[in-house]
Amino acid sequence: MEIITSVKEIQKISFCLRAEKKQIGFVPTMGALHQGHISLIKECKKNNDWTIVSIFVNSIQFNDQNDYKNYPRPLDNDLNICQELQVDTVFAPSLKEMYPEEFLTFVNVEKLSSNLCGEYRPGHFEGVATIVTKLFNITNPHRAYFGAKDYQQTQIIKKLVRDLNFDIEIIVLPTIRDENGLALSSRHKYLSQEEKKQTYVLYKSLKKALSLLDKNIKDPKIIIDQINKIIVKEHLANVEYIKICDPVHLSDLKYISNEALIALAVRFEKARLIDSIIWRKN
Ligand code: PAF
């Protein structure tokens, strides 16, 4: 497995792979790899000749500098995981390599970035769209893999790929959950034992929303209220938002007809967790 830190070098590798007609699969990450990332890497390995994994904690997508400073960076462990999974190339650049002085160009996917997490994390999706655009340009993959847990992120990336004419297939794989239904996230290490026990309410409340919809209860206000009631039962969980949106445009729905995204963000003392689920009429 090669570990590359320079943009020029990884560009050269992908240029040569393309010249050899090799299919390149790409899994962008911020490291602290867990089973969610592992499922993306495995799928990427299955369907491509060459798998590139990037590990880069992208400073510009953090709206809170403390969150950036404290974000886990277990690089050796991440490299071991990549090695075990037989990743071909890891791209792990420095901050300076990705954002040299006087970096002035940013990518903003309008509208899709403003609701949900965008409302509570100003600048976050601009940071994501900018780094993903850069990484796509640098690694030039045929396919790129993302987890459905970050639903809004996946919609934004699909849109930027269409709008900026990237010839890249975006593959979104299902959320991986622990035995209590908690969607895996690199931020779980911030949770105390007690908090961890209470996190089950996120998925429980989403499943309740699905069951209400299946019973033909279509008023978002009623469903949001029910979700909220379940979450507030756990005293360490603080709801940031609960929203029911159109799954494509990510705008709030006043009434649910054929499909809906039910999404939430919940804060524990040091961790902000997100989760979502899609409901579709049978
Ligand atoms: O989902 C993530 O881990 C990050 O947002 C991404 C896509 C790697 C960009 O930094």
- Per the annotation, the verdict on 34 as an active-site residue is no
Please, what is the average pLDDT of the chain? 97
Q: Is the CB of 27 under 6 A from ligand 1?
A: no
Q: Are strands 89-91 and 143-147 parallel, antiparallel or unpaired?
A: unpaired
Q: Is the CB of 152 under 6 A from ligand 1?
A: no
User: pLDDT tens for residues 241-261?
Assistant: 999 999 999 999 999 999 999
* Confidence class for position 42, pLDDT limits 50, 70, 90: very high
Q: Is the CB of 170 under 6 A from ligand 1?
A: no
Domains in the chain (CATH in brackets) are 2-173 (3.40.50.620), 186-275 (3.30.1300.10)
Q: Which atom of ligand 1 is nearest to the CA of 132?
A: 9
User: pLDDT tens for residues 88-104?
Assistant: 999 999 999 999 999 99
**Entry pTM:** 0.97
Q: Is the CB of 132 under 6 A from ligand 1?
A: yes
The whole-number pLDDT of residue 282 equals: 83
| Distance from Cα 29 to the centre of ligand 1, integer Å | 5
Q: Of the listed 37, 124, 142, 188, which one is catalytic?
A: 37
Q: Are strands 24-29 and 50-55 parallel, antiparallel or unpaired?
A: parallel
User: pLDDT tens for residues 229-242?
Assistant: 999 999 999 999 99
| Distance from Cα 36 to the centre of ligand 1, integer Å | 12
